[in-house]
Amino acid sequence: MNERTGIQRIGILGSGAWGTALAAAVTAAGRQALLWARNPALAQEINNQNGNSVYLPHIALDPSIRATSDAGDLAGIDALLLVVPAQHLRGIASGLNAILPKDLPLVLCCKGIERGSGKLMTEVAAEVLPGRPQAVLSGPTFAAEVAAGLPTAVTLASDDAALATALAEALGNRTFRPYISQDLIGAEVGGAVKNVIAIACGIVQGRALGENARAALITRGLAEIVRLGLAKGGRAETLMGLSGFGDLTLTCTAVQSRNYALGLALGEGANFEDLMSVRLTVAEGVESAAAVTILAKSLNIEMPISRAVNAILHQGADIDAVIGSLLARPFTTE
């Protein structure tokens, strides 16, 4: 690609529900979508049957969407959307460095924080695909609604104004509306931590603690998100927008949210290991809960809700005891 305004061929790394939905949005914008799938059989289904029965059943895909399981086919694209699970980004993307042009724009669409390193997705991508311009796409999005062409607004963040404009023009269509920002960190933090808060909200609903409690969790969860975003160098106003408050609201109030649904099942008494053993799709908040807790400690900031979710998921803490400890915290100013 010689001119960023000429973004026509867009690669999508990851053929789950969100990656497939973004491929649908790309074609609706009049661009060419090349969808990379790890599973050759899934790529074949997308090409031959114009559907993804595993991750987006009952959604008919535009026949112009092409899928491949050969990463080498991505060599000719103008921009790459990275839509693999956050914990797999490093491993999958590291094999692309020799394939992708050094100036290829990368759009981080996965929402999470790397467990172990505590790094944001832009930080991981900068290590394994160095030197390439970056953007972040995040916001309140259910994949099935995007794929069906229902109205959706997202944040598209890049510190390169020309790139952000070109990407917005390439990805945006009548119903998929990108709003441009320069705050990559804020967009990332909002998208990652809201999944952890959504698990907490699900647990509260599963325990039948009421709508007051959920509203309090959303509000205080937003405070945690802002606290972490500012500590990482993001902007508070970003976290009050689509990729912060907007995404948090959606994820914490609908059973369609994988993270909320997981928390709901836990609150109703389901066993965590049993739930994880039968899940087909990834609830990013599970791994992000541990990563957020470690990152918050390293930055010396308080994130009690995130810490509580991590204790329940990864430390075997009793749900009722954790809720009791949260309610026993000292009174303080808002």
Catalytic residues: 194
β strands within 41-148, DSSP E: 66-68, 79-82, 106-108, 134-138
| Alpha carbon 190 to chain centroid, angstroms | 9
Distance CA 39, CA 136 (A): 26
Closest by Cα among 115, 128, 141, 160 to 7: 160
| Residue 61 CB-density burial (10 A; 0-12 exposed, 13-18 middle, 19+ buried) | buried
Tokens 């008494």 -> residue = 269
Tokens 């960190």 -> residue = 185
Identity (one letter) of the amino acid at 274? D
Backbone dihedral region for residue 116 (phi beyond 0: left; psi -120 to 50: alpha; all else: beta): left
What would the two tokens of residue 36 be?
């990379």
SS3 16: coil
Spatial contact of 133 and 213, defined as CB atoms under 8 Å apart: no
CA atoms within 13 A on the CB side of 107: 31
Give Cα separations from 159 to 109, 182, 260 (angstroms). 16, 5, 32
Backbone dihedral region for residue 30 (phi beyond 0: left; psi -120 to 50: alpha; all else: beta): left
Distance CA 101, CA 79 (A): 10
CA atoms within 13 A on the CB side of 81: 34
